[in-house]
Structure 1
Amino acid sequence: MKNAFLTLVWILSIQFITAQTDRIVVDHQSDGITLKVNGSNFMINGMNWDYFPIGTNYSYSLWQQPDAIIKEALDAEMTLLKNMGVNAIRQYTGVPPKWITYIHKNYGIYTMLNHAFGRYGVSVEGKWIAHTNYSDPIVKKQLLKEVTAMVEEYKNTPGLLLFLLGNENNYGLFWEGAETENIPTDDPKSKAQARAMYQLFNNAILAMKKIDRSKPIAICNGDLQFLDIIKEECKDMDIFGTNVYRGISFGDVFEKVKRQLNKPVLFTEFGADAFHAIKMQEDQKDQAYYMIGNWKEVYENAAGLGKAENSIGGFTFQFSDGWWKSGQTVNLKIHDKTASWANGGYKSDYKKGRNNMNEEWFGVCVKGPTNSKGLYSLHPRAAYFALKEAHKLNPYEKNMTVKRIEEFFSKISLQKALEEAKN
């Protein structure tokens, strides 16, 4: 019995040590840039993930529920994510480390942990400041305190892939609220504010690396705005993360980042909504069309394939619909059909002078009603099934070429995905 007990202790110790020793690095080679996990190239097939039952908003937290409820929610959602080939999710701070480990241990899914870095305001000395001034010494001190505390809390967490700072904070320099609006343009005043912000980003990265250098650190920018300032002020970031909504193609993103930053590109948000703003009805096939086009480019620009060779993956936006996104605090039980911003890249429902992007309809899954436990079920849309096929491709596979990727994606049937969604 004693020997059996000692053997069990030894096995558990080995498992614990193994779980702790995931080595995650950004690797620059002559044929491109990759993210390596334990020595192997790792393409991030990611998903923006959260848990908000219908009728709730950002004030709700799954992590404040009993452990049995959290486990049931995670088991349902992570099963669906694993089934579609997702290997990483984007989560904001607040998730207890044990659940990051639980997700990875049971489903093989990593977490990119995101600190908003003042995007939606900051609490300073007990006072809430809605619009963050990144040049204010007190604000700077507070944000540096928050991100270093985050690293201290999560630095030895099995299942943690990397740290992400911000969420298109450059747009926050223009927008007064948290709702998505039309993408702003530069002005001289905003450039001064942006410089102060990106300087603080870099100071935060350096402070975090003093505590833990075992995890890469990315920033989350809105598209390529202020890329010239980022080049000057954010030299110590490991990964350039960006939220990009340009329609079927990312355009010049890969080449510009390669030329100006020589950093890997990680799409922290991208995708399409499932609502047709002209027909005023759900359009699952259209959503899947844009997402598949985006992922094709993500894979084509991976290292070793002869194109930009700096793509390390992305996080599709998003797993399930956010019923609270329009209005934030009102009509939380209504699936709002009001488009809040315009984007000509999504040509199928774009009409000049009208908004066509529906914030509450970006889910690749439809959210069901809340049950007595406070949980809900999800019903996959066509995009879910199309992405499931897309994520079967490994761009680092031996003898992979851009032509092979094109052939692979040409065989993904949106009609078949639509039929699967109806079943």
Structure 2
Amino acid sequence: MKIILFIAVLAFIFLSFSTAIEATQPLFSLYDPGTQFPVNYENFGTFSGIGTSAYSYTITNNTGLSAAVGEGIYPNTSSVYQDPEYQRYLAEGRLNGSHWDFVNSPDPQADFYKWATAPEPEGVRMFFMAQALVNAGLIDHAIKAYYCIIVSFPYTPSWDPGGFYWYVGPAAVNMVNYLCREYPEVGLRLANARVIIQNGEDLDLLNDIVTTTPGNYMPYTLQDRIAGIVDLSQLSIAQTRGTGKVQLIKYSNGHWQLKVDSRSFIIRGITYSPTKVGWTSNEMNLWQVVDDDNNGKIDTAYDSWIDTNGNNIKDLNELSVGDFQLLKEMGCNAIRLYHSAGADNKTYVPGDYNKPLLREMHDKYGVKVIMGDFFGAYCVGSGATWAGGTDYTNLQQRENMKSVVRAMVLDHKDEPYVLFWLLGNENNLEVTNTNAKTYPREWAEFLNEVADMIHQLDPNHPVAVGNFMLRHLEYYAQYAPALDMVGSNSYPGRYGFGISLYSEVKEKFDRPVFFTEYGADAYHYNVGVNEREQAEYHEGCWKDVVYNSAGNPGTGVVIGGVIFEWLDEWWKAPGDSNFNHQTQPQFWMGTAPDGWSHEEWYGICGQGNGNNSPFLREVRQAYYSYKKMWAPPVTRDPANGNIILSWGTFPGLTYDVYYSNDSVNWALAQSGLPASGISQASWTDDGTYTGVHPNNLRIRYYRVFINGTVPPRKILEVNSGGSGSGRVLIQGRTNHSDTITFEMRNPGTTTVIKTYTITTAADGTYSLTDMPRGTYDLTAKGANTLRAKAANILVDTAKNTAIATLSLRGGDANNDNSVGTGDMVILRGAWLSSQGQPRWDARADFNADRSIGTSDMLIMQSNWLRSGVQ
């Protein structure tokens, strides 16, 4: 198996992470910086075969090119030896040791000298030398080194200690694009550069085909950056995939966007499998039902707590907060779940899911579920033996998998928490024990068959494939057109996934891509826990996602990503106890902070010493990074009432923020006519704006414009929906969880402005989001309760409104909002029955104790001939 770097800066780019030093000013000066930036290679040689596998560059003026590029960059391999600083480092013994010990060391200058003189192939030598230059803040020289690789050595492979190899060419393309994007002072962008690797999925170098287009540099000014930010509302729609509540929209500029209920939705997801210490992968869904502390609440969802002082003890001030609340505060809007397939490995098990819990996670905490089916990976669903493996040419196994998927879809398709369906998880990797790699056409055709079936069963939710990287895209394009999007498990390094990946998606299979897994472990071999490295990795990846999402300057093909993962899992190290948190690495992974994968340390939360699992949370720096990056567009600081806006900004730009309560006046203001209710404030490019909320305005709209552009260029508009929370208490019950219909009404009337259907928590609490601004009455009604009302609720801007507790009287068995003879008939028909018995009727179970008797009769009697709020 070959790990090709054309999807990101992969394999040895632990260099892009580790102890790298980021500098705004160069850490040292070059003895010979060269005479040109950028270098015009046409002046010193000839290109041939551009865009083909016969590509080459032939130097005709070696002396001139050496002078232009400067020290360390081919063909200038000599001037570094004349560098007085190199000579001093050498004399002081600071360059002793293997060059592999000089990757991301604390001294980038030493790294540069060591790699400038390293006995490696030129492409490999310059790649690691360029990384030392990046770490030293010598960006121009780093760009020249990376571009030299593209021009002269795009086909050079580098072998890593894991026995895999990767090509430096695609990685160099990614890095030049990244550096031009992140350093506006460069003033350039690299256009049309590509290094494409074909047949790169084995260990045979001889069958690889490397196609190279070196591209050309173009000016990249502030205005060019501004022009790359697009107001999607002004574009026509070229394609819509899906007819239901979740759709994929392709705009006329080729950008893709996921929409839920007609609103844009970027996937801010996380792999959520909070396995208790001692559990294995077989218990991946057990968290949905476990209540070890016997308090009537699911442990991980509601009872987890943050160990703020790291003493592995729950102190008095460390209150239970629950993972669901932590996910909400982080800004997470989706989790990824998979199900098992029974003892025979071919039967859907509905008991894997706690539907009421998932509904509450969605209704109260705003988190949806990406519903995954392994689709034969690890033999789950196919019924195959491990010895035989899943065979996509076997008709019986195909029918087994199709049957399991059908059952899953029918079981969940009408649930509010479903975001979309995900088929497989790295099935195109041999380690998952399938033959998808051997039979890619059959694999793709079967995907298409099942995706078609899902569309017929459920038009409301799209279908994705869970891929390893981007293998088989060409097969999906030809044989699986029913797929709506591609999921990619990718671990690229802290500089993000790279232009090469996005370009490949656009060229081979015109679908949006999202990252089904990405992340880094928090353990550094021989160093210990290093949260900062993990956080930097995540920050770089997410920044890349935003840049390449719809409406932004990148490719516009990305619709989000799923972090791997929420919580450390202690079962993953083979041959080790599930009660031990293994610190030895499991396998080589060049993109990891230390070049190794520590499988039991990928969580953005840890479990401490394990004694308080599954409750204790060591919340790592990456969590707080996401809490900032994933913050809702508009929040209000409860301490001072200030408005806070967040948006993923780009280097070199500053912004203006406008707010208004009147869309008509806003339009007038933009046309140059007088208008009222408009305010303006400066917003810097650090990603947030904080301003004093004008209390005399009931703000409805927030708009962000790029500063100083004419005409005004809008990049963000938020119709700032408010939020509210309260509690519903149902007469006669100790558990107040129920499905409640809430109506926002104009005060004193029955005119409904908005309706919510919410499953309340066991204590009766609930939350409402996207509430329109103003003063309203709020009513609540359960299926067998009378309607109650909270009058004159003021919904304020970006501020959570506390709603008075509503008491719901019982006895309304026929749900007509009154208690009378019709309800008595239902109660009498189910008298003295229990759940599961023939006469059982849940409508008469007013106290929700699963039996119907005297207690229910007393509730009805207390409300006899009473009606609820109309």
Q: TM-score, normalization: structure 1?
A: 0.80
Tell me which of 353, 367, 386 is aligned to 2:607.
367
Q: Are residues 23 and 299 of structure 1, via their aligned partners in 2, closer, same or farther at CA, if it must alter by over 3 Å?
A: same
Aligned to 2:518: 270
1:298 aligns with 2:523: no
2-structure distance, mates of 1:81, 1:170: 31
Q: Are residues 280 and 400 of structure 1, via their aligned partners in 2, closer, same or farther at CA, if it must alter by over 3 Å?
A: closer
Aligned to 2:617: 378
1-structure distance, mates of 2:452, 2:244: 22
Aligned to 1:231: 477
Task: Give, as a single letter, the amino acid of the residue that structure 2 aligns with 1:305.
Answer: N
Structure 2 matches for 1:178-257, cutoff 5 A?
Answer: 191-248=437-494, 249-251=496-498, 252-257=500-505
Aligned identity (percent) is 28
Tell me which of 33, 38, 44 is aligned to 2:267.
44
1-structure distance, mates of 2:569, 2:468: 20
Mapped contact 1:223–1:244 kept (Cα < 8 A): yes
Aligned to 2:42: none
Measured after TM superposition, the shift of residue 223 of structure 1 is: 0.5
Q: Are residues 398 and 235 of structure 1, via their aligned partners in 2, closer, same or farther at CA, if it must alter by over 3 Å?
A: farther
Structure 2 matches for 1:6-405, cutoff 5 A?
Answer: 23-31=245-253, 32-60=255-283, 61-65=286-290, 71-75=298-302, 76-93=322-339, 94-122=352-380, 131-171=389-429, 174-175=430-431, 191-248=437-494, 249-251=496-498, 252-277=500-525, 279-327=526-574, 330-346=576-592, 348-350=593-595, 356-368=596-608, 375-392=614-631, 402-403=650-651
Task: Give, as a single letter, the amino acid of the residue that structure 2 aligns with 1:147.
Answer: V
Q: Are residues 161 and 281 of structure 1, via their aligned partners in 2, closer, same or farther at CA, if it must alter by over 3 Å?
A: same
1-structure distance, mates of 2:404, 2:436: 25
Q: Are residues 123 and 371 of structure 1, via their aligned partners in 2, closer, same or farther at CA, if it must alter by over 3 Å?
A: same
Task: Give, as a single letter, the amino acid of the residue that structure 2 aligns with 1:261.
Answer: F
Q: Are residues 149 and 99 of structure 1, via their aligned partners in 2, closer, same or farther at CA, if it must alter by over 3 Å?
A: same
Measured after TM superposition, the shift of residue 339 of structure 1 is: 1.8
Measured after TM superposition, the shift of residue 134 of structure 1 is: 1.2
Measured after TM superposition, the shift of residue 168 of structure 1 is: 0.9
1-structure distance, mates of 2:406, 2:361: 24
> Any idea what the Cα deviations from partners look like across 1:321-342, whole Å, max 9, x if unmatched?
0111112x74101111222222
* Higher relative contact order (Cα pairs below 8 Å, separated by 6+ residues): 1
Aligned to 1:16: none
Structure 1 or 2, whichever has the larger Rg, is 2
Measured after TM superposition, the shift of residue 209 of structure 1 is: 1.1
Task: Give, as a single letter, the amino acid of the residue that structure 1 aligns with 2:268.
Answer: N
Structure 2 residue runs of 5 or longer lacking an equivalent are 1-242, 303-321, 340-351, 634-644, 655-683, 690-870
Measured after TM superposition, the shift of residue 287 of structure 1 is: 0.4
Measured after TM superposition, the shift of residue 148 of structure 1 is: 0.8
> Any idea what the Cα deviations from partners look like across 1:205-256, whole Å, max 9, x if unmatched?
1111111010111111000122222222221111111100111220222221
Measured after TM superposition, the shift of residue 383 of structure 1 is: 0.8
2-structure distance, mates of 1:140, 1:104: 33
The 3-state SS of whatever aligns with 2:464 is strand
Measured after TM superposition, the shift of residue 68 of structure 1 is: 5.7
Task: Give, as a single letter, the amino acid of the residue that structure 1 aligns with 2:516.
Answer: T
2-structure distance, mates of 1:408, 1:104: 31
Task: Give, as a single letter, the amino acid of the residue that structure 2 aligns with 1:224.
Answer: L
The 3-state SS of whatever aligns with 2:405 is helix
Mapped contact 1:122–1:139 kept (Cα < 8 A): no
Mapped contact 1:198–1:230 kept (Cα < 8 A): yes
Task: Give, as a single letter, the amino acid of the residue that structure 2 aligns with 1:195.
Answer: R
1-structure distance, mates of 2:296, 2:372: 23
Aligned to 1:181: none
2-structure distance, mates of 1:250, 1:117: 26
Q: Are residues 273 and 69 of structure 1, via their aligned partners in 2, closer, same or farther at CA, if it must alter by over 3 Å?
A: farther
The 3-state SS of whatever aligns with 2:597 is coil
Q: Are residues 259 and 364 of structure 1, via their aligned partners in 2, closer, same or farther at CA, if it must alter by over 3 Å?
A: same
2-structure distance, mates of 1:259, 1:190: 22
Q: TM-score, normalization: structure 2?
A: 0.40
Task: Give, as a single letter, the amino acid of the residue that structure 1 aligns with 2:602.
Answer: F
Measured after TM superposition, the shift of residue 69 of structure 1 is: 5.6
Task: Give, as a single letter, the amino acid of the residue that structure 1 aligns with 2:288.
Answer: W
The 3-state SS of whatever aligns with 1:170 is coil
Measured after TM superposition, the shift of residue 261 of structure 1 is: 1.2
2-structure distance, mates of 1:235, 1:369: 48
2-structure distance, mates of 1:115, 1:323: 23
> Any idea what the Cα deviations from partners look like across 1:369-393, whole Å, max 9, x if unmatched?
6679x74221201111111111127
1-structure distance, mates of 2:399, 2:570: 35
1-structure distance, mates of 2:582, 2:611: 21
2-structure distance, mates of 1:375, 1:69: 16
2-structure distance, mates of 1:27, 1:129: 43
1-structure distance, mates of 2:332, 2:646: 21
2-structure distance, mates of 1:288, 1:205: 36
The 3-state SS of whatever aligns with 2:425 is coil
2-structure distance, mates of 1:192, 1:81: 40
Mapped contact 1:218–1:241 kept (Cα < 8 A): yes
Mapped contact 1:272–1:287 kept (Cα < 8 A): yes
> Any idea what the Cα deviations from partners look like across 1:172-193, whole Å, max 9, x if unmatched?
xx22679xxxxxxxxxx97542
